[in-house]
Amino acid sequence: MSGKPRLLLMAMMAILAVAFSTQAASAETAGNSYAAQAQRAGLTAKQTRILQQKVDEVVARTHGRQTGPNTVAFRGGKATVAVPGERYARDLRTTYAPAASDSCPYGNFCGYTGSAYTGDEYDFYYCGYYNTSSYLLSGGSWSNNQTQHRRVYMYGSRGTVIYTTPNAFYHTASGDWGPVYGLKTCITAA
């Protein structure tokens, strides 16, 4: 290869190299910022490292993106990962004290990985269908805190409704996400 095609190829490679290094530096800066936020919230270096591993898993499972030291945004909702050693999820960007149980915001449906609203919290704030088969796996609890007279359909592996929540406000401290492969929020009760 010679002449213009070679120069063009070299220019494209240089542009890609700059783009990749800028993206890597941006991700590293964000990661360092999240670690600093976690440590300002009182986490040890070990807790921060374990928390980041858990957040990375949630990002991969939800196809989301990290938005804080222990928060992940995904299509239509967000996840708050519980701090290692704590029962309840809390957003380290805003809350430095341990959270209370069932902290699902009004208007939303929340799923928890542990019973009695413990563990990681998945907050679904847009109306729609969510494939939960890769992150709400077994055990757990949920809170239907949507607006009045709203329900949630829970779907099994065959795509059929296996459970319908009672009207909002209603919650279950001991549930089983095992057979649930997806859910649809904002179902208006008749």
Domain ranges of the chain: 4-188
Structure tokens at 152: 């949630």
Is the separation of the CB atoms in 62 and 133 below 8 Å? no
Say whether the peptide bond before residue 124 is cis (omega within 30 degrees of 0).
Answer: no
| Interval 48-99: pLDDT, tens | 888 899 999 999 999 999 998 889 999 989 999 998 888 888 887 886 555 5
What is the C-alpha radius of gyration for the chain, rounded to an integer number of angstroms? Answer: 21
Task: Please state the pTM of the whole predicted model.
Answer: 0.76
The side-by-side arrangement of strands in the sheet containing 121-124 is 65-68, 71-74, 77-80, 121-124, 108-112, 141-145, 170-172
